[in-house]
Structure 1
């Protein structure tokens, strides 16, 4: 599963806007907007979610699940569990 925060963070790391992610994934801008507006895990049609994940991965993003290791060892940002300010 991908969270809406991961999706926004991935775009930020790539320096792309919602329009560019829509182009890369072959989806519409309103679809990307709805996905990013989800609370917690991104909700949407499985095919659309798959297309976004594939587009992000092709652009160099590695989505890391909670508690999972990052095998590639590249640079990145990860949200710590626990209290947040």
Structure 2
């Protein structure tokens, strides 16, 4: 989520506004170590807000359907 916000140049407060969630909800989600822990509905709102803002989230091992450039974090041994 932090990387997606960085790509958009927005802070947590703006992401909360775009996703129609509270700032503490976004803060809790970003504070999760590893897999984001959240209510499914809240997570869907964040994903939809990021997609609408122009960020494509790519699952581990997933393929991108978009045509823009992107980044992916490599797994470390």
Say yes or no: TM over 0.5: yes
**Candidates 34, 48, 53, aligned match of 1:54:** 48
Deviation at 1:38, TM superposition (A): 0.3
Consecutive unaligned residues in structure 2, runs of 5 or more: none
Deviation at 1:72, TM superposition (A): 1.1
CA RMSD of aligned residues (A): 0.9
Partner of 1:31: 25
- Greater RCO (CA < 8 Å, at least 6 residues apart): 1
Tell me the number of residue pairs that the alignment of Structure 1 and Structure 2 aligns. Answer: 77
Q: What's the TM-score once normalised by structure 2's chain length?
A: 0.94
Deviation at 1:73, TM superposition (A): 2.6
> SS at 2:41's partner residue?
helix
Moved over 3 A (4+): none
Consecutive unaligned residues in structure 1, runs of 5 or more: 1-6
Q: What's the TM-score once normalised by structure 1's chain length?
A: 0.85
Deviation at 1:71, TM superposition (A): 1.8
